[in-house]
Amino acid sequence: MALQKICKKCVLPESGLDIVLNEDGICNICVDFQNQNTQNQDSALLESELIKILNKYKAKSQYDCLVMCSGGKDSTLSLYYMKRRYKMNPLAFTFDHGFENEEALKNIRNAVNILNIDWIYYKSETMKDIFAQIIKSRTKAPICHVCAIWYLGLTHDLAARYNIPLIVAGWTKGQSLRGKETGVEYKSMSKSTEDFVKNYLRKNPKYEDFPISIKEVLDKARKRFKSCAISPHWFCQYDHEKMKEILERELKWEAPKLSYPRGSTNCLMNFANVYLSMKNYGYTHYHIEMSKLVRLGEMSREEALNILEIGFDEQFVNSILNKIDCSLDN
């Protein structure tokens, strides 16, 4: 297998479709970024703006905000910030599709107990069937994209139920929630997800109303209950080593022994998503996220390459897929 050519400025590989390198070895995403001067636009977000948003929604209901908490460092720090730094009264929300790891759940339990925060833990078997359909259909739809549609729908439903107008997540500056991902680097992934939902998943009566995109989820949610979704990491300096230090000291947070990207905390099904995304596209949505962080100066290219290095194999992925009676050979 030929080695991938990787952009000399970020960590995106040449895909032959959405990502191409010029004669200088720079990808089209980095070229567009320079031309549009988006770095100045993104860096304009200040913590003072975050505080204004939080004050706007504070004391509007029983809870000031709903915090999506997976047990990873970014979402756990968001929960910590809301309670300790900004003196909000948050409700923590964790969704478990059957593949949440115990290390992550332990992190959440420690956080909500130490911070004295109400916590809703939602466990569902729904996604196990959908995961199996993704594998067996041989779609190129990223597993995490389909799952994100599901959990964002759940989150907005819960916010509406408790009349909480502010949703807080642990998204980095490399992630966004603008209704849909508009970057060209997402084009093929998004198209595959829409095709899978429309042409395969919705043929099952159980899933005939399953949204085809995050945009559809948000459009439906806003008709029912208006809410705002933000991340404190968009407004604050992103230093993951300092963040980790705070979490370990204040909340007894522990990094999992095996994870992807390195040092993160994601569900077990994420390993299958990474393996298949690399096979189908040559990169994952984490490569897109880390590349944006590199462009914004939040992370060095060398650091991103190290974090994105894969440290698991096909056998490990199959051990996870066996739980839904699937394998990479399906």
What is the DSSP secondary-structure string of 17-33? SS--B-TTS-BHHHHHH
3-class secondary structure, 63: coil
C-alpha span between 37 and 33 (Å, rounded): 6
Q: Is residue 198 part of a domain?
A: yes
Q: Mark 80-96 as b/e (b = at least 16 C-beta within 10 Å).
A: bbbbeebebebbbbbbb
In a domain, 234, yes or no: yes
Place of tokens 């000291």: 249
**Residue-level pLDDT at 44:** 56
- The pLDDT value recorded for residue 179 is 39
313 domain residue, yes or no: yes
Asked if 300 contacts 294 with a C-beta cutoff of 8 angstroms, the reply is: yes
Q: Exposed e or buried b for every residue in 64-78, given b needs 16+ CB within 10 A? A: bbbbbbbbbbbbbbb
Q: What is the DSSP letter of 84?
A: I
- The pLDDT score that the predictor gives to residue 168 is 97
Least Cα distance to 276 among 148, 135, 177 occurs for 135
Beta bridge partners of 121: 94
In a domain, 211, yes or no: yes
Residue 16 lies in a domain: no
Note down the domain range covering 219. Answer: 45-173+184-330
CATH number assigned to the domain comprising residue 121: 3.40.50.620
Of 327, 323, 329, the residue nearest 128 (C-alpha): 323
| Single-letter amino acid code for the residue at 221 | A
pLDDT along the chain (330 residues), means of 10: 80 90 95 73 74 93 95 95 97 96 95 98 94 96 96 95 96 70 81 96 95 92 88 86 91 91 90 96 95 92 95 95 93
Domain count for the chain, please give it. Answer: 1
Q: Is residue 66 within 8 Å of residue 158, measured between CB atoms? A: yes
pLDDT of residue 178: 45
Q: In the 8-state DSSP scheme, what is residue 205?
A: G
Give 6's strand partners. Answer: 13
DSSP notation for 289-300: HHHHHHHTTSS-
126 is a domain residue: yes
33 belongs to a structural domain: no
Q: Is residue 178 part of a domain?
A: no
Closest by Cα among 255, 260, 233 to 244: 255
